[in-house]
Amino acid sequence: MPLGGVIFIAIFVAVFGIVILFAASRFGTRKYDPVKFESYECGIPVQEKKDTKISVKFYLTAILFILFDIEIIFMYPWATTFRDFIKSGNGGYVFFSMLIFIAIFIFGLFWEVKSKALEWE
């Protein structure tokens, strides 16, 4: 029976989403307002071009932050439950698995430093 509850919730969310999208398209306004498409910064008119290029370094830094943030997300539960694995006799296997996981990320960190991915020059 637990699967029935999951299926019910999935169907409910899908139907609710479709109803909300239909209601928004049916009753929402479709008036084009050019002011909505303008940039706004503290009441000062825009002085720069609209085709401003953003450096790839910003995206690379964000992706690397997310990557190492996910590493911590995986390591924290492992660290909190490691004693339970030792008690059940699976401590060596779990520890070796985490060593492989950390080795991959250390290799990635060395690669970042070597390729100068975090330098802003």
Instruction: Establish if 14 belongs to a structural domain.
Output: yes
Separation of alpha carbons 99 and 82, rounded Å: 13
Separation of alpha carbons 13 and 4, rounded Å: 14
Instruction: Establish if 119 belongs to a structural domain.
Output: no
Instruction: Establish if 43 belongs to a structural domain.
Output: yes
Question: What is the residue range of 29's domain?
Answer: 2-114
Instruction: Establish if 121 belongs to a structural domain.
Output: no
What is the full DSSP assignment across 41-97?
BTTBPP-S-TTPPPPHHHHHHHHHHHHHHHHHHHHHHHHHHHHHHHHHT-HHHHHHH
In the chain, the number of structural domains is 1
CATH of the domain at 11: 1.20.58
Instruction: Establish if 60 belongs to a structural domain.
Output: yes
Instruction: Establish if 12 belongs to a structural domain.
Output: yes
Q: What is the pTM for the complete model shown?
A: 0.49
Residues 51-98: tens digit of each pLDDT:
667 777 788 888 888 888 888 888 888 889 999 999 999 889 999 999
Instruction: Establish if 120 belongs to a structural domain.
Output: no
